[in-house]
Structure formats: structure tokens, C-alpha cells
Amino acid sequence: IGGQLNLARRIPGKEEFDETLRYFREELAAAKVAVHCNRRADAPMLASGFDRVVLASGVVPRVPDIPGVHLPHVLPYDVALSPGQEIGRRVVIIGAGGIGFDVAEYLLHRHAARPLPIADFRRKWGVDPLWCTSRSARRGGLAAGPAPEPAERRITLLQRGATFGKSLGKTTGWIHRAEMKLGGVEMIGNVTYERIDTGGVYVRVNGKARLIRADHVILCAGQQSLDPLGSQLENATIPVHVIGGAREAAGVDAERAIREGFELAQAI
């Protein structure tokens, strides 16, 4: 269970979603809810065996209309984040919203099984280890400057617009942008996509042609609703409710999806 939360929990700093999923697993078990995973539902089965149907099938990555987008080294973000998926050292990410930033952070921290040790965190962000124990500490607790480990990948974030991370949190967006800077991530805006081939991504930036070499291209160009049964259930004789990302992909997040499920349950 969990849908997009199973992807989100793999992003550095979002490990707390593990506890969210654990909570819901425990609640479902306590309420004796029958959970059937890896089983595809169909319209006749739903219409004949239940009094109501709730479609909460979520979202899938949107695939942009770019020539070459279906080549084997071009991956939607859900595949790129799946366990065991190999990603090359040169990566182009198409889309620089929240998902694009998350995927970039995941790739920058891919080999970190746990949060950084305190000493490594201080060195990375330029925090003086003597800041609270010695009069010789630098003013403000700052060391000479950040000293992150060299990045293992060359990552490029591309987007059509000019402003990066517009959907990032107002109080945390600067942290994600700082992570990109420390990781040496190149961010290129005002891009027009021309095509993708085995050599990389061909774009125009402010009208000038450019090839960005890539071993893998990851699609983070938004999401679209996954509603495989909606049209099949239009003529069903029982009420059908569509909630969460299946109802509307734009702006969906865990808070909205959970709230819509709760409100529908209260109404029923």
C-alpha cells in the first residue's frame, strides 16, 4: 500500500513517510479491512459485489511529447526511484518542479543509507565544530566554507520556464536549492526540447542549440490521473466516488489525498 508515498519515502529527508505507511497498515489490520495487493480490479467485479466503489488509484508520471522519449535510457521518475534501478553518472532531469528536485537529491545521496553523521554534516555545510565550545570559534558558528564530498554524478535539471522550484515550500525551498548548488547540479531554464537520442538531450536555450550528454534521462514533467475504471463504471448501478490524484492530478499531495479520503468516509 502507499502509492506515491512509497516513492516519496526514498527521498533524503522524507523518511518519516515510512511511519505514515506503518500507521495505515496497523489501522487497516486493526479494522479488519481486507487488503488485496497485486490484484487488478475490473468493472463487472466491482459493480456486482459492492454497494459503493471508491476510486483512489492515484497518479502516474506524465510523459512529455518529445521525440525519443520512449528510448530505453529514458525513465519516468517512478522507475528511476524504484529499488535496484541502475542510473548512470551523467543524468538529465526533464522538469524542475518539486519532483525534479526530489529526484536530483535522491541521486546525489543515493549511497547514503542513513542521515549524515554530525561531523560530515558540519563539514558539508560549513559549520564550525567548535562553535559552542570555544572562544576561538568563528563568528556565527560558520567555518571557512562548505566542503561537500565530490558529487558522483553530473546532474542537469531542465525546464521550459525560468524560475526553478516554484512549487517548493516557502520555508524550505532555499534548502533544496542549496543542495543543488553543493552537489554541482546544473539548472537550465528557458529550454525548448527538440529530441532525445542515445547521445543525450537536444535543446535550444534562449534560441541557441545545445546537446546535453546523458547516460539516463529522467522524466519529472508532472503527473496525470490514473483512472482506469472510471469510464467503465459510468453506467454502474451503484455510487462511484473518485478521490485524490485519480480525481485531479494538479497540486495533489499526501495532505489532500488523505483529507479527501477522510471526508468521503465521513459522508458515507
Distances (CA, A) of 223 to 79, 145, 219, 266: 14, 38, 10, 28
> Would you state the pLDDT for residue 228?
81
Please give the share of the chain, as a percent, with pLDDT higher than 90: 51
pLDDT band at 152; cut points 50, 70, 90: confident
pTM above 0.95, yes or no: no
What does the pLDDT look like over 86-117, one tens digit per residue? Answer: 999 999 999 998 899 999 999 998 655 466 77
The domains located in the chain, with CATH, are 5-60+224-267 (3.40.50.720), 63-111+152-221 (3.50.50.60)
Least confident of 162-166, 174-178, 222-226, 260-264: 162-166
> Would you state the pLDDT for residue 61?
95
Alpha-carbon distance 51 to 235, whole Å? Answer: 14
> Would you state the pLDDT for residue 90?
96
Least confident of 58-62, 150-154, 161-165: 161-165
Mean pLDDT of 122-136: 68
User: Which of 157, 154, 152, 125 has its CA nearest to residue 141?
Assistant: 125
> Would you state the pLDDT for residue 111?
58
